[in-house]
Amino acid sequence: MNAAVTGLSALPSTAQPFASVLAMSRFLNNEAVTLPALIEPAQEAVRQTLATSTSTVALVVHDWCMFSFKSHTAKHDRYQRSHDQDIGYELGTALIVDADSGRPVGPMEFRLRTADGMLSTRPGKKTACPPGHIDELIDVMRDSRRWNLGRDLIHIVDREADSVGHYRKWHAGRHKFVVRANANRCVRWKGKEVKLPEITAALRLEFRDVLDKSGCPLVVKTQHGTGRVQVVETDVVLERPAKTQVGDKQVSVPGPPLRLRLVLTRIVDALGVVRAEWLLFTNVGKEFDARTVAQWYYYRWKIETYHKLLKTSGMNAEEWQQESAEAFAKRLVVASMACLTVWQLRQDDSADATKLKAVLVRLSGRQMKHRVADTAPALLAGLEKLLAIVDLLETHNLADILALARRVLPTLFRTG
């Protein structure tokens, strides 16, 4: 977890640190250890958690994250995304989020783009990389029916998934989705073809505050500022041909008109300034109101926090020294279990859990912001140190350790 540690941190009971690193290297490069088998414990943990959820649906949040390895030339299967410095492995994640609380539950699928193809925790062999991110999703949606989560699934994706052709495929496959639309999107509304900003302007006086469970306006914090959530919705029709790339040419592909709900959402601060705005397309039925759909999309930010925990603020995956994408992917799956443990701890408000979180934050050495009791990176760093301490105390006596420290380092460990 330490950014300076590029291999594994050996526990105190390990006789030789190199032996620990070698054992993990053999594990990660063992062909008998497969990605689908490694992710099964995380998937089962998700099923068990959802079994206690009060929601009738579960959210599947999709996003992508690039792990940069531009200087790690020993990784011969690195994927070059754009220019020659934009090289590494690109992770696609399907993260389950509780639809009622917004609590991240755990990952159900990882996909890793490499120069040699796409690795996946889905059963099957490495495949060719699809042309773009959203081309991956139809297979994920189909496979999600095999997950046995006991809930209807709502797929949440950001603006890059705003594609008429993909909407038609997903809807035809009876997959439910919420996608942030591009502001320049043209739709048919009230018999006319208009762009989405025209609809927003026409409905500007119809926005209403979203109320929380206590009946007060719902206030949320985004990267653009804090404010009240306001929504309004209307029905629109997408009827233009889809665009697809065939070789060097862009080809129009006609398709049936698709009726969707357009949920207009904005965050308004105390002065009435619009701090953020989301234009959301969904084919979810109206048994779920606009407020609910808007809140589902707001929960999408959980996956960015998760990727940050893997990439820079917890696991420091860009420092890992595995020399193949498959070994790297296996380690990511193992690391995700630690993230899952931290998430579950953060959601636990019991007295014992609160005390343990305080201990972990202190062990981490991290400074918390005012009125912030803990963060996932701090709990993760503290957990690593706690595990090392527990392991040490199973083989050593604390009194003996303190006596030794006082003899050797008397200025740091004073008696009395």
SS3 letters across the chain: CCCCCCCCCCCCCCCCHHHHHHHHHHHHCCCCCCHHHHHHHHHHHHHHHHCCCCCCEEEEEEEEEEEECCCCCCCCCCEECCCCCCEEEEEEEEEEEECCCCCEEEEEEEEEEECCEEEECCCCCCECCCCCHHHHHHHHHHHHHHCCCCCEEEEEECHHHCCHHHHHHHHHCCCEEEEECCCCCEEEECCEEEEHHHHHHHCHHHCEECECCCCCECEEEECCEEEEEEEEEEEEEECCCEEEEECCEEEEECCCCEEEEEEEEEEECCCCCEEEEEEEEECCCCCCCHHHHHHHHHCCHHHHHHHHHHHCCCCCHHHCCCCCHHHHHHHHHHHHHHHHHHHHHHHCCCHHHHHHHHHHHHHHCCCCCCCCCCCHHHHHHHHHHHHHHHHHHCCCCHHHHHHHHHHHCCCCCCCC
pLDDT tens, position by position, for the chain (416 residues)?
A: 444 343 345 455 544 544 555 566 677 777 778 999 999 999 998 999 999 999 999 999 999 999 999 888 888 999 998 888 889 999 999 999 999 988 889 999 999 999 999 999 998 878 899 988 999 999 999 999 999 999 999 999 999 999 999 999 999 999 999 999 999 999 999 999 999 999 999 999 999 998 887 888 888 888 778 899 999 999 999 999 888 877 778 888 899 999 999 999 999 998 889 998 999 999 999 999 999 999 999 999 889 888 888 887 778 888 888 889 999 999 999 888 888 888 888 888 899 999 999 999 999 888 888 888 988 888 888 888 888 888 888 888 989 888 998 989 988 887 66
Measured CA distances, 218 to 231, 267, 298, 372 (Å):
11, 10, 12, 20
pLDDT at 239: 93
pLDDT at 308: 87
pLDDT at 387: 85
pLDDT at 306: 87
Domain map (residue ranges) of the chain: 176-288, 348-408
Record the pTM: 0.88
pLDDT at 115: 93
pLDDT at 7: 39
How many CA atoms, within 13 angstroms, populate the side-chain half-sphere of residue 94?
Answer: 29
